[in-house]
Structures are given as C-alpha cells and as structure tokens.
C-alpha cells in the first residue's frame, strides 16, 4: 500500500478558501452582512433621523434599498434595527465601563492617546545644559543630557576603580 502524497500547493489553496469562509461569519456563525458596523459607525445619524420623525421601519426600508439585509437575505424590519441600535448602545456602555476600570488600574500603562499623570524627572540645576562644566568656559557648552552624564561619570571614575 502506498503512502499518501502531501500536495502543499493544494493545501495552501484549500486553507485560503477555508479562511475566507470563516472571515465572513459573524460571531453567531451566520454570514456577516456589515449591518452592525454600519449602524455602529452611523448611530448618531440614525437616531437623529428617528428623532426627526422618520420611523424605524422607514429607516430599515432605506437600509434594505442600499443593500443591507439579514444574514439569510431577507429585508430588514424596524424591530431588527431597534434591536441592533440597542445592542450597539449596550456595547458602548460596556466598552466605556471597561475603559474606566482600566484607567483606574495603576499597574497598566495608559492608552497612547492619554497623557501620563506622572511628573517628569528633571536634571539637577548643576547638570542643566548651559551650565559651566569644570571651568571650560562658554565656548564648550554641553548640549545634551547624555553628554552631561558622561562628563560627570568621567569625573568620578577615580572613585569607581578598584585598587
């Protein structure tokens, strides 16, 4: 009996098809339609439309005309739109609560767009750039913190060497 041969090109092709199939699925295993993302991105505008007197059924009909449908291809209803809007609002509340808890924790770094509340360390006055170092005069001013550290360390080298 012969051993089966592994065709790597076919395996890559099959896995790529499989990945595309799973990428298009929503968390419940149904095909993703993009409706949730569209509602999330335009929630304020949809709520403003409804507040101005447009019914959720009319909004659902408009979304259906633009190509949004249920996962099985049926047109949207007003009840489905209100359910999605409520779901998006709940998600926003949960995200805000999680973000508040995260910001309150001292052991986690703040998000990059948040300023750090810690004070910035400063050099002592005798190490500030522009100070006269060892009587060298104004012609040889040290300009960076790294240079200042190196000069100060070289001045202390005789203390650091072992006899």
| The pLDDT value given to residue 3 | 65
| The pLDDT value given to residue 118 | 59
Report yes or no on whether pTM surpasses 0.85: no
| The pLDDT value given to residue 12 | 74
pLDDT, one tens digit for every residue, the chain (163 residues): 666 666 777 777 777 776 555 555 666 666 667 888 888 888 998 999 899 998 999 999 998 888 888 888 899 999 999 999 999 999 999 999 998 888 888 777 776 775 655 566 677 777 766 554 455 445 455 567 888 888 888 888 878 766 5
Phi, psi of 75 (to 5 degrees): -65, 155
> Which residue's entry shows tokens 């808890």?
101
| The pLDDT value given to residue 152 | 85
| The pLDDT value given to residue 97 | 94
| The pLDDT value given to residue 11 | 72
Residues in the chain: 163
Q: DSSP for 70-136, please give it.
A: -TTSPPP-HHHHHHHHHHHHHHHHHHHHHHHHHHH-SSSPPPTTSPP-SPPP---GGGSTTSPPTT-
Q: Give the list of residues 6+ apart from residue 76 with CB closer than 8 angstroms, or none.
A: 35, 60, 61, 63, 64, 68, 69, 70
């Amino acid at each position: 009996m012969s051993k089966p041969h592994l065709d790597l090109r076919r395996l890559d092709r099959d896995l790529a098809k499989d990945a595309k199939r799973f990428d298009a699925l929503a968390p419940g295993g149904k095909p993703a339609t993009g409706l949730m993302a569209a509602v999330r991105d335009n929630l304020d505008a949809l709520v403003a439309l409804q507040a101005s007197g447009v019914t959720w059924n009319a909004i659902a009909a408009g979304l259906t005309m633009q190509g949004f449908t249920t996962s099985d291809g049926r047109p949207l209803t007003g009840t489905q739109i209100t359910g999605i809007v409520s779901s998006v609002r709940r998600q926003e509340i949960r995200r805000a609560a999680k973000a508040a808890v995260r910001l309150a924790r001292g052991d986690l770094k703040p998000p990059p767009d948040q300023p750090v509340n810690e004070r910035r360390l400063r050099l002592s006055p005798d190490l500030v750039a522009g100070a006269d170092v060892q009587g060298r005069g104004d012609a040889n001013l040290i300009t960076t913190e790294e240079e200042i550290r190196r000069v100060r360390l070289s001045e202390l080298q005789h203390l650091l060497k072992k006899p």
